[in-house]
Structure formats: C-alpha cells, structure tokens
Amino acid sequence: MNRTISFTSGKGGVGKTTLVCNVAAELGRQGKRVLILDGDLGMANVDILFGVRAQGNIGQVLNGQATIEEVITEVAPGVDLIPGGSGIYGLSRLEPLQKHVLLDQVSRLNRNYDYMLIDTAPGIDDHVLYLNSAAQEILVVVTPDPTSLTDAYALIKVLNQRHRENRFSVVTNMVKDEIEGRQVFHKLSDVANRFLCVSLNYRGCIPADLILRQSVRSQQLVVQMQSRSPAATAIRALADNLRDSQRFSEIKGGIQFFWNQLSGVA
C-alpha cells in the first residue's frame, strides 16, 4: 500500500522544500520509489534543490500538451518529480474534461510508487488546502519563530473547519536542540487541543544546521553530501519515522485516492 504525505506550513521559508527533497532522497536510497509533486506554484524549486532542471509541468498535462510521462523527471535514484508550475493552481478548479485527462494520465504511469510527497506553497490559499486535504497525511512544518506557530495554527484551523481534517503530523525545523523541538510542538498542540477538535502527532525535529544551509546553496542534498551532519542525521530519523509508522489516515487511501480526490470522484 502506497502513501501520500503533504509537507505544508502556514508561514513561508520554514524548510518544506528542503525536507521534502531530503526525505525523498533518503527513502530512495533505501530502495523505496518516491514521487514528488511540486505543488508550490510561485516558487516551484524542487528541481533546483536536486540540481536538475525539470521540463514542463502538470499544467501542460491538463491542457493536453504533454503526457504525464513526458513531464516526470528523475531527480535522484528512486525519486521522480512532477513539476507543478502554474498547473498547480488549476488543480483546485479542474474542468470536467481536465479531470478526465488527469485520471487517465495518472492511470498510465509506468512505475509503481511507495510514496508520494507533496511540497505545497505556504499559507491558506485554496489550492494549498486542496492538495492537503487530498493527502493521507498532512505534515505541518513549524519553526520556533512565533509567527510560524500562529500561522501553523491558522492553517490547521481552516483545514479543520473547511475540510474536516482532524489529524495532523508536525515536524519542528531549525531548532536549537530536541528540547526546543518538543517545546515548540507542545506550544502548538496545547493551543490546538484547547480550541479545536484535532489531534497532532509529533514526528520529530530537525536542528538548525549551517551545513544544510550551505548544501542548499550549492544545490546539493545534505543527506547525500554531508550524511553525518546534524541535519542529515535528523532527516534520516524523520524518514524512518514516516516509513515505520502506521498508515496515518484509515479513511483516505494512497496515491490513487489522492488523484481521485483532486478530480472530485472520491
């Protein structure tokens, strides 16, 4: 059974793309097959982090200009990418014909994937909520920055109220140490438990690490190039945690469910 996990946040720049790419590379290294959907239309940059240049995007698939196989790019061993580009915006308001095209194309995917990771834009725009609500597991990335916490709360609140989502995973990023990681999680979960009917599941923390920052600058993945660094070690633990845990939502299915949901047939 394959799984879909969206990496999302209320505030921008908290490390979603960095975590998606490194977790995917790590799962790929372990022999898993991973598909990334780059769902950030403004700053679509998953390919850049992998040091490759993707051709095309999902918008061209929806318009019939390309097949899904033509826009999928292999970015690392075991890891494929569907670039989103402006096409992501359209995913939340597909025409009937486009829904048909999307499902038809997805059913033609040649490879079977174990995981689909969705990198979303930050915030509570419709298309972000839409991608999150189609994913089996919503992984909210937060940092110790107070605005990151309030924005994460706002995102969880709208997903709960508008999309009836009530289970979320949380990873804390750019923390000083594990103690701070847990503190940040508890701040968020305390407020969420008090005011909303949701449950939050802590998936761990990633330390602020200069080596990671440098590797992003040189378009390299820290789990590949500096695998013993603190951030790489923590990202490996996160990948293991995601891999070893039970399927998060019993109600939602895997990759096929995700596409069905986007197409409105689920």
Q: Using CB under 6 A, list all residues that contact ligand ATP.
A: 9, 12-18, 40, 43, 122, 173-174, 206, 208-209, 212-213, 216, 231
Q: Which residue in 138, 133, 91 sits closest to 263, CA to CA?
A: 91
Judged by beta carbon distances under 5 to 8 A according to partner kind, the member of Mg ion, ligand ATP, none in contact with residue 12 is ligand ATP
Judged by beta carbon distances under 5 to 8 A according to partner kind, the member of ligand ATP, Mg ion, none in contact with residue 18 is ligand ATP
Task: Candidates 17, 105, 148, 189: give the one binding Mg ion (CB under 5 A).
Answer: 17
Q: 105 or 143, CB closer to ligand ATP?
A: 143
Judged by beta carbon distances under 5 to 8 A according to partner kind, the member of Mg ion, ligand ATP, none in contact with residue 114 is none
Structure tokens given for 212: 């990671």
224 binds Mg ion per the rule CB under 5 A: no
Q: Which helix (H) or strand (E) holds 193?
A: helix 178-195
Rounded Cα distance, 55 and 88, in Å: 15
DSSP class of residue 228 equals T
Instruction: Please give the torsion angle defined by the CA atoms of residues 110, 116, 117 and 122, in that order, rounded to the nearest 10 degrees.
Output: 90
Rounded Cα distance, 33 and 22, in Å: 14
160 binds Mg ion per the rule CB under 5 A: no
Instruction: Give the shortest CB-12-to-ligand ATP separation in angstroms.
Output: 3
CB atoms within 10 A of CB 57: 20
Judged by beta carbon distances under 5 to 8 A according to partner kind, the member of ligand ATP, Mg ion, none in contact with residue 38 is none
Q: Binders of Mg ion among 22-51, rule CB under 5 A?
A: 40
Give the end-to-end CA distance of the chain in Å, rounded to a whole number.
18
Judged by beta carbon distances under 5 to 8 A according to partner kind, the member of Mg ion, ligand ATP, none in contact with residue 80 is none
Residues that bind Mg ion (CB under 5 A): 16-17, 40
